[in-house]
Amino acid sequence: MLLYCSPRSPFVRKVMIFAHETGLAPRIECVRTVVAADRPHVGLMQENPLSKLPTLLLDDHTAIFDSRVICEYLDTLHDRRKLFPV
């Protein structure tokens, strides 16, 4: 999985903390991405037309964005105790 990220984003940090807590961090490759309201990132816009971080790109090229949605998806990928209640 590929995560478009910026260390300045609290939402990216949320996803990365979640990934570490669930043991999924080694499966995620982080790509540092600079986005600005006046200069959207062209590569990111191809995956996420909103050009927002974080964006998780799956192996089948499905893009998931919004930190909560990404975390809920990641919660389905591990065998540990689920962090999102049923």
Domain harbouring 23, CATH code: 3.40.30.10
- Tell me how far apart the alpha carbons of residues 65 and 56 are, in angstroms, rounded to a whole number: 6
- pLDDT tens for residues 20-68? 999 999 999 999 998 877 777 888 888 888 888 999 999 999 999 999 9
Amino acid identity at 13: R
**For the segment 5-19, what is each residue's pLDDT rounded down to a tens digit?**
998 999 999 999 999
Is the residue at 52 inside a domain?
A: yes
Q: How far apart are CA 42 and CA 39, in angstroms?
A: 9
Please indicate, yes or no, if residue 80 is contained in any of the structural domains.
Answer: no
Decide if 8 is inside a domain. yes
Residue 39 to residues 11, 66, 79: CA-CA distances in angstroms?
Answer: 20, 20, 40
Show the domain range for 10. 2-75
Domains in the chain, number: 1
Q: Do the domain assignments include residue 82? A: no
d(CA 50, CA 3): 15
Q: Model pTM?
A: 0.91
